[in-house]
Structure 1
Amino acid sequence: MLTITQALVDQIVAHARQDHPDEACGVVAGPEGSGRPERFIPMLNAARSPTFYEFDSGDLLKLYREMDDRDEEPVIIYHSHTATEAYPSRTDISYANEPGAHYVLVSTADADDAGPFQFRSFQIVAGEVTEEEVKVVEAY
């Protein structure tokens, strides 16, 4: 199960809506070993595509060094789907290389600035996708 604050959900959804019609992507880091998402880190979709996301390799290296310096790890890796449901594509599954992370997908396919959206979380380990419950809290 992913436990996440409403404030982080709001930030992820706002990023997805802001970057629409391109896919948005980013990370939520947390203290190493805690499983607690805390620090929202929106990233640039280097692919600038409505159907694919890619972290810029330089930005990603910088992020991992920064997380290492802060004793953090990626608790959530998120991105949006702009025309399909919030479920990992074959490409998403093939690029999922953080077995301990929660992979959050937001679909903006049927959304406008205030409309409905899908917010789902998955564990992706060795190509196996398992949806998990999302528990939204005000604070930890």
Structure 2
Amino acid sequence: MLKLSVILIPCLLFLYACTLLSPKAEYIPDNEVLKSATVGVPYRLKIDILGGAAFRGTSRKPGFVSPTDSGISIHYCQLSESEIKDMEPRDSNNYNCVEIYGTPIKSGVLKITIKGGMYGSMIAPASHFSKDYTLKINQA
């Protein structure tokens, strides 16, 4: 029994350490309140996701904006033509970058949620991430 525990305990500790090593997403900008927008003025902001190679989450969208009728949308950033030239199959999305864009049509406060996942490695499992932002839209 002692031989079994000598082997089992280090293996369990190794598995636990691998879980701690799973990729953690970091964001630029990291603050939860984004640069304000103004009604009728085009708005564009990129959010970079760091910490490993990201893949799109369970849905095809990188997140959502609430309320949906604000004039602000969200999509993945596009790779340059030189980056996708030799890619098979061709996928022009950069899953490590999300762009918030649009022309706000009414004032208020928006909640923007970004969702996705990070690929794992041989010793670390894949992980999912989610980040909430607030965007204030001012009257012109």
Quickly name the TM-score band, shorter chain normalised: under 0.3
TM-score by length of 1: 0.28
Which protein has the bigger strand share?
2
Higher helix share: 1
